[in-house]
Amino acid sequence: MRITFWGTRGSVASPGEETAKYGGNTTCLEVRLSDRKLIVLDAGTGIRKLGLKLVKQQEKEINIFLTHPHWDHIQGFPFFGPMYIPGYKIDVYGWPTTNRKVQNTITDQMEGTYFPVDFSQLQSAITFHEIHNYEMDFFNAKMSFMRVNHPVICHSIKIQEAGKTFIFMTDNELDADMPQVFVNPWEKFVEFCSGADLLVHDTQFTPSELDKKRGWGHSSYIRVLELAKEAGVKGLVYFHHDPEHTDMDLDEMLLDGMNWVARNGCSFKCFAAQEGMTIEI
């Protein structure tokens, strides 16, 4: 399985000299199964550049899985080039929110007030699929889902294939206290992540930042390191970088994390997601 990062930022795109190393585009990952079948995770602004690559390669079967419909996870969808070309087949999977179907949450942003091209004008074959089960077979892979702690319905995605396990767990506040929404306890996250070869997890805040932003649905990198240790994962990637964090800030957070790993006798490798970075497991 091969994972490539096309968008690593959370909340809002933050391009500029101070974010050039880790990237300013919002959430989008490309996952290649061992038979090269394509799974795209989320459709933030990073999906635009991925689309250019897929058109160049004339790769015409595309599967997009959405964790949730917040802007930074769907705002690149109208700029996804394959949608405008006949002959492309695009399947979009996601969980319905309380009062909206998956298709509406994605396509409403293309209504004329917000975007010059209406969804009805797209030339590709786009099909929306609502997920209602927590496990599904997908090509030769098994996919599992778990609701995470976020102010809107949001799910982590586990992909198991050819003896490898990859987990994408963004927009999750570990130890959240959100009386207004469903909350999963720490033990459930440890169980879900147990033994994963690679865990990509929301590390938007430092511990001091999290103290001021509890209930926002994001984690501190220290608590995520503790999750990786307890779950026995083999690799951890910092993800959903805060738009205010510069490359220097992220360098310091990563170095602190690597020192934490060494001090606590952990064996897992620790990375910070960068646009264009590819990890093979």
pLDDT of residue 99: 64
Residue 49's contacts (CB-CB under 8 Å, 6 or more residues apart) are 6, 25
Nearest to 146 by CA among 126, 123, 127, 171: 171
Provide the Cα torsion 11, 252, 40, 86; round to 10°: 70
Ramachandran quadrant class, 59 (left: phi over 0; alpha: psi -120 to 50; beta: rest): beta
Backbone angles phi, psi at 13, to 5 degrees: -60, 145
Tokens of 194: 């147990």
Tokens standing for 231?
């779950």
Q: What is d(CA 251, CA 82) in angstroms, rounded to the nearest whole number?
A: 35
Are 210 and 220 a contacting pair, CB within 8 Å? yes
| 140 close to 161: Cβ distance less than 8 angstroms | yes
Using only the alpha carbons of the chain, give its radius of gyration: 18
Residue-level pLDDT at 97 = 73
Q: Are 100 and 114 in contact (CB under 8 A)?
A: no
β 235-239/38-41 pair status: unpaired
CB-based contacts of 72, cutoff 8 Å, min separation 6: 9, 10, 11, 12, 13, 26, 27, 44, 45
Question: Rounded to 5 degrees, what are φ and ψ at 2?
Answer: -125, 130
pLDDT in tens, 85-115: 999 999 999 998 756 788 998 999 999 999 9
Per residue in 20-78, pLDDT tens?
Answer: 999 999 999 999 999 999 999 999 999 999 999 999 999 999 999 999 999 999 999 99
pLDDT digits (tens, 9 = 90+) for 123-156: 999 999 999 999 999 999 999 999 999 999 999 9
Residue 182: what pLDDT?
81
Residue 179 has pLDDT above 90, yes or no: no
Residues in Cβ contact with 232 at an 8 Å cutoff, skipping those fewer than 6 apart: 194, 195
Q: How confident is the model at residue 259 (pLDDT cuts 50, 70, 90)?
A: very high
User: What pLDDT shows up at residue 98?
Assistant: 57
Say which CATH class 2-280 falls into. alpha beta
Whether the predicted model's global pTM rises above the 0.95 cut: yes
Domain parsing of the chain, residue ranges: 2-280
195-239 pLDDT per residue, tens: 999 999 999 999 999 999 999 999 999 999 999 999 999 999 999
Rounded to whole angstroms, the Cα distance separating 33 from 30 reads 10
Q: In what order do the strands lie in the sheet with 135-138?
A: 135-138, 141-147, 155-161, 164-169, 198-202, 235-239, 269-272
Q: List residues bridging with 184 in a β-sheet.
A: none
Mapped onto helix, strand or coil, the DSSP state of residue 52 is helix
**Structure token pair of residue 118:** 């209406």
